Amino acid sequence: MKTITGVLLIAAALAIGPGCATPPDWIERTLVTVDVTGVWHGGKVAGAGGSVAELWLDLQQAGPKVRGSMQGRGFVPGPGTGSVPIEGTIAGDVFSFRQTNGPGKGELTVRGDEMTGEVSIGFLYPIILHRIESLPRPDVTRP
């Protein structure tokens, strides 16, 4: 009888135990290791003519949550040339965001003052952004 009870206790512990365990990447997904507050700028050569598409992100971070705006020039079809609101999150060193009033979104890996990844603004664009000083940005509403 003791053998059957012992086996049942071990089986129950094995069945319940994995449900309580947390995958090791849980900490990595919830840990905020970077600060993206600031103005970011980057460009990408788009098209055979060598035209350059530019992107600005103006971000404010509070813990893992990020709010701000995105402004682009030269992306086709793109959201136009005006500034659009975005919101996102930081998980580890990855900044994921979406446009709150449209289809734009992105996922960027942050390393110091550089972000690399992909931004979707009509099409998927690989891009590198750099944190820049708070200098006046060019007026991208002009053609």
- The 10s digit of each residue's pLDDT in 89-139 is 999 999 999 999 989 999 999 999 999 999 988 788 899 999 996 545 555
pLDDT, mean over the chain: 77
Listed as own residue / partner, the contacts of 44-49 with beta carbons closer than 8 Å and 24 or more positions apart are: 44/125, 44/126, 44/127, 46/74, 46/75, 46/76, 46/125, 47/76
Please name each of the domains of the chain with its CATH number. 30-132 (2.40.128.120)
